A and B are shown apart, each in its own frame.
Chain A
Amino acid sequence: MTRTDRPALRVDGLTVRYLTKGGPVVAAADVDLRVAPGQCLGLVGESGSGKSTLGLAVQGLLTREEQVATEGVVAIADRELDPGDERGWGQVRGHLVTTVFQDPMASLDPTMTVGRMLTWVTRDKQESLRWLEEVEIREPKVVLRSYPHQLSGGMRQRVMIAMALARRPAVLVADEPTTALDVSVQAQILSLLRREQDRLGCGLLFVTHDLGVARTMCDDVAVMRHGRIVERGPSAQVFDAPQDEYSRRLVASRLTLDTDRARPVGPPEPTVVASMSEGLAQPEPESLTRRWSAGELTWASFAAPEPERRRPPALELVAVTKSFRTGGLLGSREKQVLHGIDLTVEPRQSVALVGESGSGKSTILRIAAGLEQADGGDVVIDDRGGAGVQVVPQDAGASLTPWRTVEQLLLERLGNTPEGTGLTDAERSARIRLALERVALDPDQVLRRKAGQLSGGQRQRVAIARAVVVPPALLLCDEPTSALDVSVACTVLNLLNLLRQQLGLSILFVTHDLAAARVIADRVDVISDGRIVERVDAGDLSDSMTSAYGRRLLDAVLP
């Protein structure tokens, strides 16, 4: 019997429609899939491509949804089932097909110990212990008695994997299993998944938006867009020589440590091209697009002239310390999060601060933004006559008041600066339009829209426009691309770089993604446990980074 004869998972003609008030929305359209035992098939695509819906459908998790209509057949280890009908799924779901979900914190019941959850699956405590050892959890006996919140993100995901594998399924679905984890544990979780899959010989359906992860993990990939599979084939083939137009764009948008920093990243984007034309000798979009595609367009061509007078640093932190107090009236504890941080951002300089969650990088950003007071040390900010500091947050959707229009949001910022208050209404309106154009938004389209009506990428751009409508002395970016799809992330990085050149901005960019850091920054500072452990030039990260933590971050950027 060959691999192709008896697939672990077979999907034939699967169509999934979400019945919404505005009519049916097709999440998957006539999808066929085969996953052989021992094979890993990657399902890649951007948000809204239908990849997660497909992941749910093959486990029969859509059968109870009233607002969902399905067609087609799902077969798990030769058992044919209807993804829209609960009949027959009872013996299959949780037995022949199991899942590792994205966010292990939310996906584990917070009120139950690991032992209680795992033993429900294994039916035997010794077996639970054995599985915890199998997924390389140290001190399995302690973990068995622990609650999810007492474990690290990586440990939680290992527990999740143990629960999913304990019944030895024929098919394992992994739905973005490392997206919610720190990059430095990503590689461990992936190799664990791969090893266990080989050992059990189950088929693995790996749903991800991260092309790097798909490339390392999967034998074959299927690229999804708008519910359809637009291209499929062996990973190496799809990623090295994509045939489909969309796959090509997707692959081109991926950042690695070899991405050229001097030029715009990703394929040419019409809206970005439109905002580039200002102040150039050859401003025609066609020629810009051609030069971008040919790799002839460098950031240097957009640089604003150097100011005559040298300015002081935009941000200077000297020996800054900070600690937080936890606990109540009786028995409080103090935890030091910053130990003597020295950090300078020169005018027109861009510095990336990289570290994992809990390292203190967000606290530094909050101190620089004036949202938090340092306990000790000096914080000096060049105020540039009241322009102040502006923040582009990670979750722009939450940072914009949803019922205010884009115009109101930008006017508000304009009214809060000395520069803005001196303007006439006409001048203000012109400033706002210019700011929106700079972030590649059409003012006529978005000015009157409310923030809540915009897409994620649009909101992120509005947040940037609000931050730069009056050029701030310092722009603070808090993981502005980590929640975005790769193509949108490229656009945001390109826009930030463009603004940096045109306006001569100083930027402090907080991230855990070295590939993004190296594109946006001149210098990368690595922070670990509240101390800056390393400072390297962004130009040759891979060669000059020596700290243990820095090397781990480097390894996390998949080739």
Chain B
Amino acid sequence: MLRFAVRRLGSLVLVLLCLSILVFVLSRYGGGDPVRSYLGNNASASAVAAMREKLGLDDPMPVQFWDYVSRLLHGDLGMSLSTRRPVRAELADRLPATLELAIATLLFSVVIGVVLARVYALPGCFGGIVRFTLLGAASAPAFLVATAGVLIFFVQLGWLPVSGRTSYGPSEGLSGIYVLDGLLTGNLAYSWDALQHLLLPAFAASLGPGVALARVLADGLSTSIGSAYARTARSLGESERSVLRRHGLRNAASPALSMLGVQFGMMLSSLVVVEQIFSWNGLGQYLVMAIDRADTNAVATISLLLGAFYVVINALVDIALAAIDPRVRLS
């Protein structure tokens, strides 16, 4: 098991290296002129040349890449051309916001998945209607769910806030994750307020992945409780509930976890949109602004970060899979 984990993490390093090359190449050839966007269209030719020289844009490609990677490893992410602050400082402000939203989305997806898996298994006409409705809901893109959520819970009912992360100022806690900071500093009202702000955006981003998860989980459960090993368990006197808990869940968890890993990528991409809609001051909003202004340093860094999120989560999923199902360790 340990060997598997080490091997899997080893291959993670390789994937991250490839990812950084890809991001680097895209940022240099992806179009847009960072110098022009920084200095403006009226800058003199000599100023542009000086800036290119300063940014090292005229160096040969391998040298530029080496520069990029070594600065990356030292934590120097360059200047954000759109905000004129170091990218690192921007990230320090915004990363916790996105982390908060991503974690909440992941948790919501799991909860929605597990709850709906039971509804999915309902027999008869009612079950059919539920499945049909959920399929429709899951097919709706996150921005549509978000807009519908805003219309219902803000405009009509006025129950939930739809802008920003809090009605108060930034938290005084250390993590930058507001719900957590409120709890840590004993300010429960602050946490409650942050949670209310979190509900709609996280729900909008997690509905699709949650339903997808539910379908895989329900399918896995019905397969495993109808399997030969479940029959063996019954023949040895296990109750239906014990069969479901001891054998059903365990065996159905593997495909559901793999699904969750894949869906996490979808979640990240919908977070970019959702942050936009709910004025959530996170990486997604920053990314949209940076793309708009050809801020290549920022775009490259955020892409790398989101990509890294994705591959790390999937590596963890693989390790969890191996812990649940011993056969995974062999392949």
Binding site for B on A (CB under 8 A): 59, 61, 64, 90, 93-95, 98-99, 101, 103, 106-112, 120-121, 147, 149-150, 160, 163-164, 167, 328-331
A107 contacts B326, CB within 8 Å?
no
Using A108-B229, A110-B229 as known contacts, list a sample of 18 further A-B pairs with CB atoms less than 8 Å apart, ordered by residue number in A.
Answer: A59-B235, A61-B234, A61-B235, A93-B234, A94-B234, A94-B235, A98-B235, A107-B229, A109-B229, A109-B247, A109-B250, A110-B251, A110-B325, A112-B250, A121-B236, A147-B327, A330-B10, A330-B11
Q: Out of B234, B236, B238, B327, which one reaches A110, CB within 8 Å? A: B327
- Give the CA-CA distance A471 to B139 in the complex, in Å: 54
A111 lies within 8 A of B235 (CB): no
Are the CB atoms of B326 and A149 closer together than 8 Å?
Answer: yes
Q: Which residue of B lies closest to A102 (CB)?
A: B228
B contact residues vs A (CB 8 Å cutoff): 7, 10-11, 227-229, 231-240, 246-247, 250-251, 324-327, 330-331
Closest to A108 in B: B229
Instruction: Give the dominant DSSP class at B's interface.
Output: helix
The answer on a CB contact under 8 Å between A111 and B228 is no
* Bound CA–CA A147/B229 (angstroms): 13
Closest to A94 in B: B237
A527 to chain B, nearest CB (A): 26
For the complex formed, measure the closest distance between the CB of A142 and the CB atoms of chain B, giving whole angstroms.
Answer: 15
18 contacts between A and B (CB under 8 A): A61-B235, A90-B237, A93-B235, A94-B237, A94-B238, A99-B232, A101-B231, A107-B228, A107-B232, A108-B232, A109-B247, A111-B324, A111-B326, A120-B246, A164-B236, A167-B236, A328-B331, A330-B7
Question: What distance in Å separates the Cβ of A335 from its nearest Cβ neighbour in chain B?
Answer: 13
- Inter-chain contact count A-B, CB under 8 Å? 76
The closest CB in chain B to the CB of A173 belongs to B235
Q: In the complex, A371 Cα to B279 Cα: how many Å?
A: 59
Question: Contact: B237 with A149, CB < 8 Å?
Answer: no
Main secondary structure of the interface of A (DSSP, over half): loop
Known A-B contacts A90-B237, A103-B228, A109-B229; A147 and B326 likewise in contact (beta carbons under 8 Å):
yes
Q: How far is the CB of B71 from chain A (nearest CB, A)?
A: 29
Q: Which residues of B lie under 8 Å from residue A99 when comparing CB positions?
A: 232, 235
A331 touches B7 (CB 8 A): yes
Asked if residues B7 and A98 are in contact (CB atoms below 8 Å), the reply is no
A111 to B236, CA, bound (A): 17
Q: B327 near A106 (CB under 8 angstroms)?
A: no
**Which residues of chain A have C-beta atoms less than 8 A from B326's C-beta?**
110-111, 147, 149-150
Which chain B residue shows the least CB distance to A327? B331
Which A residues touch B236, using CB under 8 A? 94, 98, 120-121, 163-164, 167
Contacts of B229 in A (CB 8 A): 106-110
Specify the chain B residue showing the minimal Cβ separation from A330: B7
With CB as the reference atom, state the residue of chain A lying closest to B323. Answer: A111
CB distance from A399 to the nearest CB of B (A): 24
Residues of A within 8 A of B232 (CB): 99, 101, 107-109, 160, 163
Asked, given contacts A90-B237, A94-B236, A163-B236, whether A107 binds B325 with beta carbons under 8 Å apart, the answer is: no
